[in-house]
Amino acid sequence: MNYTFLPNTETQVSEIALGTMTFGQQNTEAEGHSQIDFALDSGINFIDTAEMYSVPAQKDTSGSTEKIIGTWLKKSGRRGEIVLATKIAGPNRGLEFIRDDLSFNAETIRISVEKSLQRLQTDYIDLYQLHWPERKTNYFGQRSFSLEEDDWNDNVHLVLQTLQQLISEGKIKHIGVSNETPWGVMRFLEESKKHNLPRISTIQNPYSLLNRSFEQSLAEISHYENVGLLAYSPLAFGVLSGKFLTGEAFPNARINLFPRFSRYNSDNAKKATVLYNQIAKDNGLTLTQMSLAFVREQFFTTSSIIGATDLNQLQENIQTHQIKLTQNVIDAINQVQELYPNPSP
């Protein structure tokens, strides 16, 4: 396993992170514990979760993933071996069961941190992230920006001040954003520079062969501002494992269990996947190997977040860290991207 640092920090993380959003619905507590054990034994030291997990978010299972990680931490005593990341949920998604006030302010951020610490059974969070923007904007697959009535007032300074206080108390170490736009990333960076407030280290956004929209503008910010991508859905909800090309139904696959995540199931996504699969075959690779290697090799990628529902999947995903793509493979991939650009934004 290779390691890097969260940008602008001395915190070292594996280039592959364990995603855990299946813990609590698709995976039991015992299965979640087994995945964490296997991941650590394979060299992974970076675990990502969120207060709203498991997915899809619902009242009965909200916080279940953090609780499963927490029982593992208590049982194993291995807190010092992992870098633990979690996220605060925001408004605009109808998740009032998480807390009464979903806006970001001094009280709600502190409440969310404290509750996550309790569920995780730990004294500190290594990376605390804003799960999506508080304002109404184009995230989660929206292709265009439209002006909407929004009562959001720019509170970035207050958010950073609150996070600074929590850092000073030792409850969180570093901060990041997720599902954020170029404007949002630059706004946080601007405020931190101007007022000597905590600086975001990472942005957790989707990135895969079927969604390379990060490259259009956020990659430039990543380079010049040293903000690292934590790439989620690098296998596009399993589509880029190639399993759906076999003709089997896979009723328990995420894309079938949760049809609301249709962004990875478009006609162009299917056509592109067929072509990517052929490139992989022609070069002695599996589609999984090629897909994960492509994400990992980007200059802006700090870590790729992989998730699985069983240990065989997890093992295959982790072993791809040994794969290095040739320039011929990369050129062929780019030709498909030109033909079907970002079919799953």
The CATH fold assigned to 3-235+298-322 is TIM Barrel (3.20.20)
Q: Is the pLDDT of residue 250 over 90?
A: no
pLDDT at 76 (0 to 100): 98
pLDDT at 243 (0 to 100): 84
Q: Is the pLDDT of residue 62 over 90?
A: yes
Identify the band that residue 253 occupies on the pLDDT scale cut at 50, 70 and 90. Answer: low
> Considering just the CA atoms, what is the radius of gyration of the chain in Å?
19
Burial string for 216-228 (b: 16+ CB within 10 Å, else e) reads eebbebbeebebb
Burial string for 176-209 (b: 16+ CB within 10 Å, else e) reads bbbbbbeebbbbbbebbeeeebbbbbbbbbbbbb
Identify the band that residue 193 occupies on the pLDDT scale cut at 50, 70 and 90. Answer: very high
Active site residue 207: no
What is the residue-averaged pLDDT of the chain?
94
In this structure, are residues 266 and 239 in contact, taking their beta carbons and an 8 Å threshold? no
What percentage of the chain has pLDDT greater than the value 90?
87
Identify the band that residue 338 occupies on the pLDDT scale cut at 50, 70 and 90. Answer: very high
Which residue in the list 53, 128, 264, 276 is annotated as catalytic?
53
pLDDT at 257 (0 to 100): 66
CA angle 125, 42, 203 (to 5 degrees): 40
Determine the average pLDDT of the residues in 163-174.
98
pLDDT at 152 (0 to 100): 93
Helix intervals (H) in 104-259: 106-120, 156-168, 182-195, 218-225, 254-257
Determine the average pLDDT of the residues in 142-166.
91
pLDDT at 140 (0 to 100): 83
Residue 289 to residues 8, 175, 190, 235, Cα–Cα distance (Å) = 30, 30, 38, 10
**Encoded tokens for 199:** 């600086």
pLDDT at 259 (0 to 100): 65
Identify the band that residue 264 occupies on the pLDDT scale cut at 50, 70 and 90. Answer: confident
Q: Which residue has the tokens 């069961």?
A: 97
Rounded CA separation 111/171 (Å): 12
pLDDT at 261 (0 to 100): 63
Identify the band that residue 178 occupies on the pLDDT scale cut at 50, 70 and 90. Answer: very high
Q: What is the DSSP string of 231-285?
A: EE-TTTTTGGGTGGGG----TTSHHHH-TT-GGG-SHHHHHHHHHHHHHHHHTT-
pLDDT at 69 (0 to 100): 98
Q: Is the pLDDT of residue 53 over 70?
A: yes
Task: Please write the tens of the pLDDT for every residue from 103-147.
Answer: 999 999 999 999 999 999 999 999 999 999 999 998 887 788 887
